[in-house]
Every structure is written in structure tokens, then in C-alpha cells.
Amino acid sequence: MKLLTLILATFRELFSKATLYVLLGISTLIMLGTLASVSAEHTDEGVILKAFGNPVSPPTPVEEVETLVFGMQTGLAKGLFFGIMLFGVFATASVIPDSLEKGTVDLYLSKPLARWELLLGKYLGAVAVMLAVILYFIGGIWLGFGIRTDVWNIQFLLSSFTMTFMFACIFSIVLILGVVFRNAAIPIIGSFLYLMFIDNLLDSREEILFLFSESKIYRGILDGLYYILPQIAGMQRSLAEQILHKSMEWKPFVQALLSSSAIFIFSAWIMRRKDF
Amino acid sequence: MSAISSESLTKVYSDFVNKKLSVTALNDFTINVEQGQIFGLLGPNGAGKTTFIKILLGLVNPTGGRASILGTLLPDVKVRERIGYLPENHRYPGYLTGEQVMLLFGGLSGMNHAETKSRTPSLLKLVGMEQWAKMKVKKYSKGMMQRLGLAQSLINNPDVLFLDEPTDGVDPVGRKEIRDILKRLKSEGKTIFLNSHILSEVELISDRVAILDKGKLLKVGTVDELTVTDTNYEIGFTGSLPENFHHEAAATVMKFRVDKQIISAELKDASELNHLIDMLRRHGIDITHIAKKRTSLEDSFINLIKREVAS
């Protein structure tokens, strides 16, 4: 009950901010853009997929159109992924530091609420908001593709949950930085850096970072970081496999789940030791 | 069973870089508050009053010692179901209405929605906020926020209530109303722990008072015990004092003043008092009464703090 109250309060808190409405507005524009721009023209030679009136595929037999649409959706999902994640972090990062502010944290923690419960409630609240936003966004695009091409790729719709899970993993970084620094700027910058650079560099450490040194310690540290931190790049590849109906690599998800859980537990431990 | 008790409670805010900057906020603090009392904790800024409350509420981890609320050794999350707290400088979400704030904190207290909803109107009425229940908190004045804060602290019908500067920003009429509410709560058997800078208010409603400075407990007792002085006496007499009395008394007694039929004397000890009485009797003056003089709680507080600073 207390956890549900916290989740709902976080929902209300985030929906009271303009940032989320900007995200929803952009999502709506992209959805409408998809609906207006994507079309399938049936010709004697086959189906031609068009974007903004221009063909994006040669005439394709009807039974192969599905594959083309899956490809388009994969490209779109890849392109939108960073936007959703970055904007999502921007819209939700204040949830943790705001609840730890003097005058607010006193009110929360004077209630029969353990510190980890407060963190969990806020964490799940932020993730729940992003689930709603991503479902709205991806669901809208899925609907647009379905209406315009008659290809109803359920895996694309289900990728909303995959993306939300990925957001939850990124938000664990926002959480720990929020608990440590008690402001929104550092978690935003930290998670942006992680998403845009650190994760990609660690993912391709053998091709790039290992070139700088052959030291076993150096390489051991990089390997350690790769396995400790959530592997977003690995999950992104799996996301593409999901939308393309290929067999998904589950290892990055299991690793990210363990990693994010460990980060959460560590955040709760730091929180427990803090004086407010 | 005590409502609140602490034993050798100590809190040091450590500065790991510069040890000299470490601050001892509470030093071996032992106190006992009985159930059904209004207990006032007084002290200058930085005395450790808020730290003490925050340790009891689990907001601050003590460095040493132990504390309990209603017989439960702290820290304990469950006991907070029986606690209400109005922090100093509280911040309620501005996008919520007063009513929604009550529902939120009722839910966090472990109450179900129906229960919270049914208690909310009466509590808002109690603090005079019923007409502002649907207004967003961001439009509230400081006084309205305090009233809402008090209502929020009562949402779970607590047995022990911690109030940190409850009348801060409240007008005189509002202060009187809050005092009346606290008296009423006390009559219902609730224990109220009060932190306040407004000593005259604490004096008016507290059963017992403790004075804290630099983390150390200086004095604890009833308001009467704290305001009575060991050195100031009032001696009533009949008739008139002889001319040489002033001269004679001034030579032996620290300070004294005669106003109509009353001698107010500041004495070092009981021997000076006896000396003064002997003098009066020698001159054939009839003594009507001898009483220890009282000071206001504020004077008593200031004297104690001054003495502490001097020592």
C-alpha cells in the first residue's frame, strides 16, 4: 500500500512537470509523422513501401513486405532509442534528489517507511511513468505502421517493455548518482555520458580501449566495469533482434538485471548511512 | 512506560577531511518523557534540538547511545506508525492540494484510502483549513502551510507528536489556536514533544522543559522548577524600615531593593538570607512572607546559557 502510494505520488509529480508533456508532444508529432508518411502502394510487380511519398523499397512480393516493415521499424527504434532514453532521464532525474531535499525527506522518512522503500517507490514510479510514455509512443507508431502497411508487428509493440527495462537499467545509474550528490544535474550528465560514451566504449573495449595498453590490470579494470555496469549496447542489439523476430540474446538482459539490482542495493546502503 | 527516552545519546557530525570541523551535536544526552505530557525542548540555534528529534525519527544515525519511543528501541520503522511529525521548514509538493497532501501522507502512514479520506475533513477543520482543502499548496501562505503541517502530522492519530517550531510564521490568533489544539491533544492522552524558540509559548503549555546547549543537557524539570531561582528572594514586611537599615544591609547582602512593603534580594546563599532576616527582626520588623522569586522561562533560559558560556 505504501509502495503503491509512493508510485502514484511519483506519477503525479512527474505529470505535474512540463518536461514530460514536451516528451509526449514530441512523441505525438513523430507518431503522426509516421502515420502520415509511411505508406504501402500495391502495384502489379509487388508492394512498394514509401516514406514521405518516396519509395524506400523496390516492388516486393506481398509475403516479403513484412520483413521490410520489420526492418523499417528496427531502424526507427534504433534511431528513437537514444532520444527516448535521454529525454526520459531528463524528465525523471529530479525525482530522487527532490525527494531527498531538506523538508521533504523529513516528511517521508518520519512515516513508517524504510529508506530503501522510499527509493524503490520513487524508482518504480519513474519507471512506471516511462512505461506509459514509451507504450504511448511505440504503440502509436505501431498503430501507424499497422494502419498504413497492414503489417501488425507485435514484437515492435512488445519492444516497449524491452525499452522500459533498458530505461530502468539506466535509471539505476541516475538513482545512485541522485542519492550520492542529491541534485539532478549530475545524474543527468552521468547517465548521458554513460549511455553515449562509456557503455559504447566498454562494449567495444577490445577494438578501441585495449589498444591503449597491454597492461593486465588496465584490461582487467575495463573488463570488470563492462561486467559490473548494465550492458545497454548489448541490449540494444537484442532489441533489434526482437523487432526482426530473430532469436534474442538474453545474456545482456540478465547481466543488466543483476547489475541494476546491485546498483539499487548499493544506493540503498549509501542512503541508509546518510544523515538528513 | 516512557513515551520517549534516550540514554547517553551522542551525535558527532564528522568531517573526514578536517577533523577540527567535526561538530558534536549531541553529547551524552539522557532524557525521559512520560506519556501524556507536553515536553518542551529549548536551546539556542545549533544546540542539537532538531538533531535529537531527527535521531528519534530515524533521519539521523546516532554516533552512540540508545533511544526508544513507546518502549521500542530505535531505529524501528514500525513504531513510526504511532508517531506524528511536523518538521521545521517542511516542503509539501506544490502541485498537490491540501486534501491531496493529507491523502498522500495518510497512505505513507500505512492507512487505507477510505480511512484517510474520512479523517481528512475533520483534521483540516481542526486546524482551520477546511475552506482551503481544494487549493493547491503552492498558493498557501507560511501560516497556512504550518496549519496543514499540523493536520498532516495528526493524520495517523499518533500517540507521540513531534513538533519543530509549530507556530513559525503563524499570527498571534493562530498561535493561540495551535496552543489550544495541543492542549486538547494532551487531554486525549497524546505525548507532545515541542521544539520552539518562542519561550513564552513553551512556558504556557509545557508540563516539563529541558534546556539544551551545544549538545549538552543543562537542565530539565517542570516550568516551575526551572523558573524558580535559588538566589533571588522576596521578603514581605509590615511597618517601616529604620533609616540605617539600607546602609547596614548593603554591607552584608549582595543586592537588594525595597519596593513598598517588599524587599527583593539577590543573595549568595542561605546564610545571607538568615543574616537579612536577623537584621529585620533586630529592628523589630514583622516579616509577613519569604519566597523564592520566579523569573520568566526566557530569563531563566538566558541566565543558564550565559552561565554555560561563561564556564
Q: What are B100-116's pLDDT values in tens digits? A: 999 999 999 999 999 99
Cell of B74: 530505535
Q: What are B177-195's pLDDT values in tens digits? A: 899 999 999 999 999 999 9
B163 plus B286 within the same structural domain:
no
CA atoms within 13 A on the CB side of B89: 5
Record: contact A107-B107, CB cut-off 8 A: no
Over range A3-8, report the average pLDDT. 94
pLDDT at B226: 82
B197 plus B255 within the same structural domain:
no
Chain B CB contacts of A108 below 8 Å:
108
From A1, A109, A273, residue closest to B107, measured CB to CB: A1
The pLDDT mean for chain B works out to 90
Q: What are A84-127's pLDDT values in tens digits? A: 999 999 999 999 999 999 999 999 999 999 999 999 999 999 99
B143 plus B279 within the same structural domain:
no
Q: What are A75-88's pLDDT values in tens digits? A: 999 988 999 999 99
A 99-118 near B (Cβ less than 8 A) = 101-114
In DSSP terms, B235 is beta-bridged to B263, B290
Residue A212 has pLDDT above 90, yes or no: no
Over range B208-217, report the average pLDDT. 91
| Structural domain includes residue B168 | yes
Q: Tell which of B186, B214, B242 closes a domain.
A: B214
pLDDT at B294: 77
**B102: closest CA of chain A, how far (Å):** 12
| Structural domain includes residue B56 | yes
Q: What are B129-150's pLDDT values in tens digits? A: 999 999 999 999 988 999 999 9
Residue A92 CA to residue A195 CA, distance in Å, equals 16
Counting residues of chain A whose pLDDT is more than 90, the rounded percentage is 73
Identify the weakest region by mean pLDDT among A105-119, A165-179, B8-22, B289-303.
B289-303
Q: How many domains does chain B have?
A: 2
Instruction: Tell me phi and psi for residue B147, to 5 degrees.
Output: -65, -45
Chain B CB contacts of A111 below 8 Å:
80, 105, 108-110
DSSP string, chain A: -HHHHHHHHHHHHHHTSHHHHHHHHHHHHHHHHHHHHEEEEE-SS-EEEEETTEE-S--B-HHHHHHHHHHHHHHHHHHHHHHHHHHHHHHHTTHHHHHTSTTTHHHHHTSS--HHHHHHHHHHHHHHHHHHHHHHHHHHHHHHHHHHH----HHHHHHHHHHHHHHHHHHHHHHHHHHHH-SSHHHHHHHHHIIIIIHHHHHTTTTTGGGG---HHHHHHHHHHHHHS--HHHHHHHHHHHHTTPPP--HHHHHHHHHHHHHHHHHHHHHHH---
Identify the weakest region by mean pLDDT among A49-53, B156-160, B303-307.
B303-307
Q: What are A22-41's pLDDT values in tens digits? A: 989 999 998 898 888 888 88
The domain in which residue B82 lies consists of 2-214
Instruction: Using alpha carbons, list the distances in angstroms from residue A256 to A193, A250, A271, B51, B244.
Output: 17, 10, 22, 39, 96
B209 plus B233 within the same structural domain:
no
Decide if B120 contacts B77 (C-beta within 8 A): no
Record: contact A110-B59, CB cut-off 8 A: yes
**A95: closest CA of chain B, how far (Å):** 12
Q: Tell which of B183, B214, B245 closes a domain.
A: B214
pLDDT at A221: 93
pLDDT at A232: 94
B163 plus B32 within the same structural domain:
yes
| Structural domain includes residue B257 | yes
CB of B114 less than 8 A from some CB of A: no
| Structural domain includes residue B42 | yes
Query: Side chain identity at A241, as an amino acid letter?
Result: E
B178 plus B137 within the same structural domain:
yes
Name the more confident of B25 and B243: B25
| Structural domain includes residue B113 | yes
**ipTM confidence score:** 0.84
Chain B CB contacts of A12 below 8 Å:
93, 95-96
Tell me the pLDDT band of B93, cut-offs 50, 70 and 90. Answer: very high
B121 plus B175 within the same structural domain:
yes
Q: Tell which of B191, B214, B237 closes a domain.
A: B214
CA atoms within 13 A on the CB side of A75: 8
Strand order in the sheet with B38-42: B83-86, B160-164, B191-195, B38-42, B208-213, B216-222
B181 plus B263 within the same structural domain:
no
Chain B CB contacts of A1 below 8 Å:
107, 110, 112
CB of A204 less than 8 A from some CB of B: no
B101 plus B234 within the same structural domain:
no
Q: What element of type H or E holds B49? A: helix B49-56
By DSSP bridging, strand B64-69 and strand B228-238 are unpaired
CATH code of B103's domain: 3.40.50.300
Instruction: Using alpha carbons, list the distances in angstroms from residue A23 to A31, B116, B140, B230, B271.
Output: 12, 34, 30, 71, 83
Q: What are B256-308's pLDDT values in tens digits? A: 888 888 998 888 778 888 888 988 898 888 999 998 887 777 887 887 788 77
CATH code of B283's domain: 3.30.70.980
Over range A241-267, report the average pLDDT. 95
Domain ranges across chain A? 2-273
B121 plus B148 within the same structural domain:
yes
Of the candidates B101, B228, B58, B289, which has an alpha carbon nearest to the alpha carbon of residue A106?
B58
Decide if B129 contacts B98 (C-beta within 8 A): yes
B171 plus B280 within the same structural domain:
no
pLDDT at B254: 67
B92 plus B141 within the same structural domain:
yes
**A179: closest CA of chain B, how far (Å):** 15
pLDDT at A93: 95
